[in-house]
């Protein structure tokens, strides 16, 4: 099993570890609920060094990135990031990803460079897919194995990290980034995106710098009671916001529009799968991803049936949990159109038992 550069620290802290995408990763250090509220109300640190990073560089780097992604890369300025997805020929989602337009200091004249950040479970799959589409004048470099990544999230993240740099973090808008001297180290990439809805930053650095950064971040956040956070709370935090998780809520068969991702599917551009997506939209989507708020305390799990009042199957749960903030079960799932509309009542079934659920607007927690 693969390990992140901070694996020894997680073990020393007594984290509960598990296999995630082939990596031995921390699920929790104390309990998921308290870690969840640490991020919602203060500041917490996730080791997400298992994520994949590819550099695309060359005279036609923008053309390749545009061809394999559904969003409009031409709108990106240097220092900006973009959420997107990579469709296949059938319009399904190979992966969702972040695209960073990098400074040009390492490029020759006429070249541009991007960093693509992909899901850990899809690193090889994504690499092979992009390579298969690369008929452009550019090169790809896989820096995943040498790159570490921390996500420092929560309302106290700004105050914590500002202690570690002379650069003004307030000058980094949402979905932007900057390279800076950070934690006594040069040329560290710090971005403001996030997968928790609580605000914060991501810190990208070489593996051999990660222990130093981890230590200094925790020293800086001590006054705010900073804590390490595992993937368990990362899941409850993202679910309260309604953010999709690849492999649960989206996959190779999912049309982006059905998953509520029309906003990153810009059909004024050309990309793989565009025609299939337009055709599915024209014919009418059969199912839509919905947010459901359940009665009682029974937690809906991936794969549970969603039924109508007559007990007929009309969909399936893709993600579910007990919301620590609402103290109520929440779920995402695909429901047949037009039964997917907000305000409708549906039923989540486990065996012969059913539990009433109402379709609601995202996010679950504002």
Could you tell me the CATH number of the domain that includes residue 291?
A: 2.40.30.110
Lookup: tokens for 230: 């595992």
**Do 12 and 161 belong together in one domain?**
yes
Does residue 267 fall inside a structural domain?
Answer: no
What CATH number does the domain containing 25 carry?
3.30.1360.120
**Do 152 and 220 belong together in one domain?**
yes
pLDDT of res. 296: 86
What does the chain come to in residues? 366
Does residue 20 fall inside a structural domain?
Answer: yes
Residue in 208, 206, 205, 204 with CA at minimum distance from that of residue 191: 204
Does residue 177 fall inside a structural domain?
Answer: yes
pLDDT of res. 142: 98
Does residue 141 fall inside a structural domain?
Answer: no
Location of structure tokens 């006054």: 223
Residues of the chain short of pLDDT 50, as ranges, are none
Q: Is 135 left (phi over 0), alpha (psi -120 to 50) or beta?
A: alpha
Does residue 199 fall inside a structural domain?
Answer: yes
Note the pLDDT tens digit of each residue in 219-234.
999 999 999 999 999 9
Contact (CB, 8 A) for 221 and 160: yes
Residue in 193, 329, 198, 235 with CA at minimum distance from that of residue 28: 235
**Do 153 and 29 belong together in one domain?**
yes
Rounded Cα distance, 60 and 26, in Å: 39
What domain count does the chain have? Answer: 2
**Do 178 and 314 belong together in one domain?**
no
Exposed (0-12), middle (13-18) or buried (19+): which is 50, by Cβ within 10 Å? Answer: buried
Does residue 103 fall inside a structural domain?
Answer: no
* 3-class secondary-structure state, position 336: strand
**Do 152 and 27 belong together in one domain?**
yes
**Do 150 and 236 belong together in one domain?**
yes
- Domain hosting 165: range is 7-46+146-240
H or E stretch at 109: none
Rounded Cα distance, 134 and 263, in Å: 25
**Do 166 and 229 belong together in one domain?**
yes
**Do 293 and 230 belong together in one domain?**
no
- Angle ∠(60,266,87) on CA atoms, nearest 5: 70
- Of 206, 240, 274, which residue constitutes the final position of a domain? 240
Note the pLDDT tens digit of each residue in 322-360.
999 999 999 999 999 999 999 999 999 998 899 999 999
- Angle ∠(22,26,32) on CA atoms, nearest 5: 130
CB-based contacts of 245, cutoff 8 Å, min separation 6: 235, 238, 239, 319
**Do 321 and 175 belong together in one domain?**
no
Does residue 121 fall inside a structural domain?
Answer: no
Question: Which three-class secondary structure string do you get for 56-78?
Answer: EEECCHHHHHHHHCCCCHHHCCC
Is the overall model pTM greater than 0.85, yes or no? yes
Does residue 153 fall inside a structural domain?
Answer: yes
**Do 22 and 155 belong together in one domain?**
yes
pLDDT of res. 351: 87
**Do 305 and 365 belong together in one domain?**
yes
Rounded Cα distance, 308 and 339, in Å: 9
Rounded Cα distance, 45 and 321, in Å: 21
pLDDT of res. 330: 98
**Do 158 and 299 belong together in one domain?**
no
- Of 213, 240, 267, which residue constitutes the final position of a domain? 240
């Amino acid at each position: 099993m693969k390990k992140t550069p901070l694996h020894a620290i997680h073990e020393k802290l007594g984290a509960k570890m598990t296999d995630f995408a082939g990596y031995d990763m921390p699920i929790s250090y104390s309990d998921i609920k308290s870690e969840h509220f640490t991020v919602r109300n203060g500041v917490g640190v996730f080791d997400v060094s298992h994520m994949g990073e590819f550099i695309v560089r060359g005279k036609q780097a923008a053309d390749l990135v545009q061809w394999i992604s559904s969003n409009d890369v031409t709108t990106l300025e240097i220092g900006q990031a973009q959420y997107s997805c990579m469709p296949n020929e059938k319009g399904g989602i190979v992966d969702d990803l972040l695209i960073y337009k990098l400074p040009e200091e390492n490029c020759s004249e006429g070249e541009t460079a991007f960093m693509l950040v992909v899901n850990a479970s899809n690193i090889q799959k994504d690499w092979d897919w992009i390579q298969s589409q690369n008929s452009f004048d550019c090169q790809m470099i896989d820096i995943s194995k040498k790159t570490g990544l921390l996500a420092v999230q929560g309302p106290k993240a700004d105050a914590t990290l500002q202690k570690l740099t002379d650069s003004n973090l307030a000058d980094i808008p949402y979905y932007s980034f900057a390279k800076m001297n950070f934690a006594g180290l040069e040329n560290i990439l710090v971005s403001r995106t996030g997968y928790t809805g609580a605000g914060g930053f991501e810190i990208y650095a070489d593996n051999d710098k990660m222990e130093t950064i981890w230590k200094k971040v925790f020293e800086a956040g001590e006054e705010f009671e900073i804590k390490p956070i595992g993937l368990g709370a990362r899941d409850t935090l993202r679910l309260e916001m309604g953010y999709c998780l690849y492999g649960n809520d989206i996959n190779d068969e999912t049309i982006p529009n059905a998953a509520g991702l029309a906003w990153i599917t810009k059909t004024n551009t050309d990309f793989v799968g565009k025609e299939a997506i337009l055709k599915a939209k024209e014919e009418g989507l059969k199912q839509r991803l919905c947010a459901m708020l359940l009665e009682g305390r029974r937690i809906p799990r991936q794969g549970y049936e969603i039924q109508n009042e007559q007990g007929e199957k009309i969909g399936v749960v893709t993600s579910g949990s007990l919301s620590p903030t609402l103290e109520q079960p929440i779920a995402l799932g695909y429901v047949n159109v037009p039964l997917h509309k907000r305000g409708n009542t549906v039923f989540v079934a486990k065996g012969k038992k059913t539990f009433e659920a109402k379709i609601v607007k995202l996010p679950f927690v504002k």
